[in-house]
Structures are given as structure tokens and as C-alpha cells.
Copies of this chain bind each other. A is one copy, B any other.
Amino acid sequence: MTSPLRLGIAGLGTVGAGVIKIVQEHGALLAARSGREITISAVSARSRGKDRGVDLSDYSWEDDPVALAKRDDVDVFVELMGGEDGPAKAASEAAIAAGKHVITANKAMLAHHGQTLALAAEAKGVNLRFEAAVAGGIPVIKTLTEGLAANRITRIMGVMNGTCNYILTRMENAGLPYDEVFEEANQLGFLEADPNLDVGGIDAAHKLVLLSSIAFGTQVDFSGAQLEGIGLISIDDIMAAKDMGYRIKLLGLANMTGSGLEQTMQPCLVPYNSPLGQLEGGTNMVVIEGDAVGQIVLRGAGAGEGPTASAVMGDVMDIARGISLAVFGQPAKTLTPAKAAKSNTPSAYYIRLSLKDATGVMAKVTTALADAGVSIDRMRQKEHQDDAAPVLIVTHEVTPAAIEAALTAIKATGDLASTPIALKIVEV
């Protein structure tokens, strides 16, 4: 057996505590499987005194994560602090510069600085691993980078934000409006300090762009992703979708087209009984499609102490076993700059309009749709509520551009009582 692999852990929240528990409880198992003892040399967090349910007395304490990252007795710096910049980035850079491997669960940092960090790590010959950054306990980074490495990846789809999925399924199951469930989720501590990271689709998009980079050999490009949150989804939308055999999910989609890389994170309708449609609560699902393998579906817990710690420790085990890989599956200097393309893949759409109660309004709407080339598959006007009539439309396959043109024209009529919504229908 070779020398122990020594960890330095910065960030002792839920995940950090989970990692420490695995190291403490599964010592023999980890050593049997990796051929090395896994130890913890030092830890760091904002507050030293806090009880985290784990015994830290054997580990050195560092107030400064940068100092932790550079310690001589640390082989692997485990970054679990979070945050796009600040200490997480400073300490990760320091660790790489000092020749340490880095393992991180920080999708925000990688979505913005992944390329720079990968170049630095590869120049230094150290590993930068981030299984825990995407879809919690599901080993999706490994599956995509290694298991499916011989495939040209054709499409990635995923429900990767448990909070949004909780809100949407809770609205449906309890028949509650968005605002009420949002408040409930907040009380339960499910939301990030900036809730827009969750409900605005930002967190999920951070994850999607990391998968895209591996799948398509492009530099991580968060700015090129199109985002739409779940804030406009009403209980009426959810129930109308259900009536038609669909469920609304915050769905990420990435594919490479002739005009460039399409990356979207937006609420979509998926078939109610499909694997994606059946997801409840905090469960995540990632669908990967490759030219040889066809469709692979991965499902598991997207967050939480155990699942996320399992992913972090999977990376630790790889390093202990001497597995070394380019950060995004091929050397960062060979990744091509992503050329962001606005999604133009045609699909059916669900449209909800709230029309003012006046003569000739419906004629104007249907004319606007026809003029934009949007063909109606099904349409239903419900009874007037407060002088407005909700109209639900399902279109035949059209491009997002046509939908956008139609909505612009409809808004211009001045006959809408509130903001219209249009959601892609994805048959999976």
C-alpha cells in the first residue's frame, strides 16, 4: 500500500460534514478499494466553534482557506465553500499553483472560470474534479467524460435543480399558487440566499454548461446559455398541462447545431408518464444521447449531505487510484470557443394568454399567430375571470423565433391583461 492520500477540506456545511463522515466511517472500505488510506490533514470554515455533528479534533484548523490549500500535508484540496469568486476561487488557484489536486462542488465558479482553472490545473499536471457540482450523487460527469467517451454526443437534457422541481410538484400536488409554495420552500431552507439562483434557473444552467463543455468539446460558456425561470408558471398552467398529459419541469437542453451551441434552461412541458415527467421533489435526472449508445437516463438525489458527499468522495477515490484526466475530458487548450446559437430547434409549444374582455380580440390573436406562421393544434378559452379570459393554445411544431414573433405581435395589440407565457413541449 502506498502513502496515504491527505485531504484539506475548506467549507464545513452539510456536504463538508458528509465527506468527513465517510472518511471516518468507511476507512477500511476506502483503503481496500483504492489501495491507499484516505486521511484528512486540515479543515477550514468561517466559524470554528459551530457544532457540525462530526469530530474535528484530529484535524488542523486553518482560518484562511488559501493557507489550507497550500499546506505541505495536503495532497488534495477539497473546495466546498461555494461562491463564484472570492475565497473559493482564490484558494482553488492557490492549491493548483502549489501542485495540489482540487475537488470542488462549486458549479458557479466553474461555469464562470472553468476554462481558466482547467488550463492552470493541466499546466501544473494536477487534477481538477467536480462530480459533486452537477446533479448531486449522480455520477454524470464520469458517465459523460469516461463511460460514453467514444460517442459523439448529440443532446443533453436534464432536470438539475431540486428546489424548482420541489416547487413545481408541490404546486401541483397541493394545488397551491407559486408565491405560497415559494414562501414555503424559503421557510424550509430550500432556497439559496439569492433565490433567483434557483428559481431563475441560474444554478441549473451552471450545471448544464459544464456538461456541454464535456459533451461538445467547447470552452464552458455560461453567457451563451438562454435562461428562463419558473416565476411566471401559474397553477393554471400546471393543471392545464396535466389535463393534456404533460408536466412542467425546469428543463435544461444542450445540443450542437450547424449554427452553434444551443444551451437553454427553461420551463418545458414533458409527457406526464415519461421518466422526466415522473420526477418528484428533489430528485434529479440527466438524459444523455450519443450516436452509438442511444439514450442513457440517470436518476438520483440532486442534493443533500450523503449524495453530494458520495460524489466528492468518488473524485477522491479516483485520485487515490491514480486516475488522471483532462478536466473537461480533453485538454483545455484543445477546447474550441463555444459559438452560442439561439435555440432554433422547432417544437410544439404551450401558450397561455390572458385576453381583455372585448370584441374582436380573439380574431386579432389568431391572425397574429397565423401571420407568424404558428399553426394551432388545440385551443381552449376558459371563462372570464376579473374581466380577462385565459386562453390556452397548443401549437404544431414551430421555431422559437416564430413563437417570439407571434407573441410580440399579440402584445402589440394591447389586448393582453397580463404577460403571456410560451413553453416548449419536449417529447422524451
Instruction: Known A22-B292, A273-B273; judge A324-B325 contact (CB<8 A).
Output: no
CB of A120 closer than 8 Å to a CB of B: no
**Residue from B34, B131, B138 in contact with A296 in the complex, judged by beta carbons closer than 8 Å:** B138
Q: Give the residues from 278 to 323 in chain A that come closer than 8 angstroms, CB to CB, to chain B.
A: 278, 290-301, 304, 306-307, 309-311, 313-314, 316-318, 321-323
CB–CB A137/B33 < 8 A:
no
**Residue from B26, B33, B152, B275 in contact with A29 in the complex, judged by beta carbons closer than 8 Å:** B152
Q: Which B residues touch A149, using CB under 8 A?
A: 30, 33-34, 313-314, 317-318
CB–CB A30/B150 < 8 A:
yes
CB of A35 closer than 8 Å to a CB of B: yes
Q: Per-position contact with B for A114-150: 1 when CB-CB < 8 Å, else 0?
A: 0000000000000000010000011100110011111
CB–CB A310/B151 < 8 A:
yes
Q: When chains A and B are docked, how far (Å) is the Cα of A306 from the Cα of B154?
A: 14
CB of A379 closer than 8 Å to a CB of B: no
Q: Which B residues touch A142, using CB under 8 A?
A: 139, 142-143, 146-147
Which of A54-62, A179-187, A224-232, A327-335 lines the interface with chain B?
Answer: A327-335
CB of A18 closer than 8 Å to a CB of B: yes
**Residue from B293, B294, B297, B307 in contact with A293 in the complex, judged by beta carbons closer than 8 Å:** B307
Q: When chains A and B are docked, how far (Å) is the Cα of A294 from the Cα of B136?
A: 11
A142, A151, A322, most chain B CB atoms within 10 A: A151
CB of A90 closer than 8 Å to a CB of B: no
CB of A370 closer than 8 Å to a CB of B: no
Instruction: Known A147-B131, A317-B146, A330-B32; judge A310-B293 contact (CB<8 A).
Output: yes
**Residue from B29, B292, B325 in contact with A307 in the complex, judged by beta carbons closer than 8 Å:** B292
Rounded to whole Å, the gap between the CB of A305 and the closest CB of chain B is: 8
Which chain B residue lies CB-closest to A139? Answer: B147
Q: Which B residues touch A304, using CB under 8 A?
A: 294
Instruction: Known A273-B273, A292-B137, A293-B306; judge A150-B317 contact (CB<8 A).
Output: yes
Q: When chains A and B are docked, how far (Å) is the Cα of A307 from the Cα of B293?
A: 4
- Determine how many copies of this chain the complex contains: 2
Rounded to whole Å, the gap between the CB of A310 and the closest CB of chain B is: 4
Instruction: Known A32-B334, A150-B313, A150-B316; judge A300-B307 contact (CB<8 A).
Output: no
Q: Which B residues touch A35, using CB under 8 A?
A: 326, 331
Q: When chains A and B are docked, how far (Å) is the Cα of A322 from the Cα of B324?
A: 8
Instruction: Known A150-B313, A150-B317; judge A293-B300 contact (CB<8 A).
Output: yes
CB of A217 closer than 8 Å to a CB of B: yes
Q: When chains A and B are docked, how far (Å) is the Cα of A55 from the Cα of B146?
A: 27
**Residue from B18, B33, B139 in contact with A143 in the complex, judged by beta carbons closer than 8 Å:** B139
Rounded to whole Å, the gap between the CB of A153 and the closest CB of chain B is: 10
Rounded to whole Å, the gap between the CB of A335 and the closest CB of chain B is: 9
CB–CB B296/A299 < 8 A:
yes
Which chain B residue lies CB-closest to A38? Answer: B150
Q: Per-position contact with B for A330-360: 1 when CB-CB < 8 Å, else 0?
A: 1100100000000000000000000000000
Rounded to whole Å, the gap between the CB of A281 and the closest CB of chain B is: 12
CB–CB A294/B137 < 8 A:
yes
Q: When chains A and B are docked, how far (Å) is the Cα of A118 from the Cα of B16?
A: 36
A positions within 8 Å CB-CB of B: 18, 22, 26, 29-30, 32-35, 131, 137-139, 142-143, 146-152, 217, 273, 275, 278, 290-301, 304, 306-307, 309-311, 313-314, 316-318, 321-326, 329-331, 334
Question: Can you list 5 A-B contacts with CB-CB less than 8 angstroms, sorted by A residue number?
Answer: A33-B149, A137-B292, A147-B311, A293-B301, A296-B300
Please list the 10 inter-chain residue pairs (A to B) with the smallest Cβ-Cβ separation, ordered nearest first: A139-B147, A150-B313, A293-B310, A292-B310, A149-B317, A137-B293, A297-B299, A292-B306, A296-B300, A142-B147
Known contacts A29-B150, A150-B309, A293-B311; 13 additional CB pairs below 8 A are A26-B152, A131-B147, A137-B296, A138-B296, A139-B143, A139-B146, A146-B317, A146-B323, A151-B310, A293-B310, A296-B298, A297-B297, A297-B298
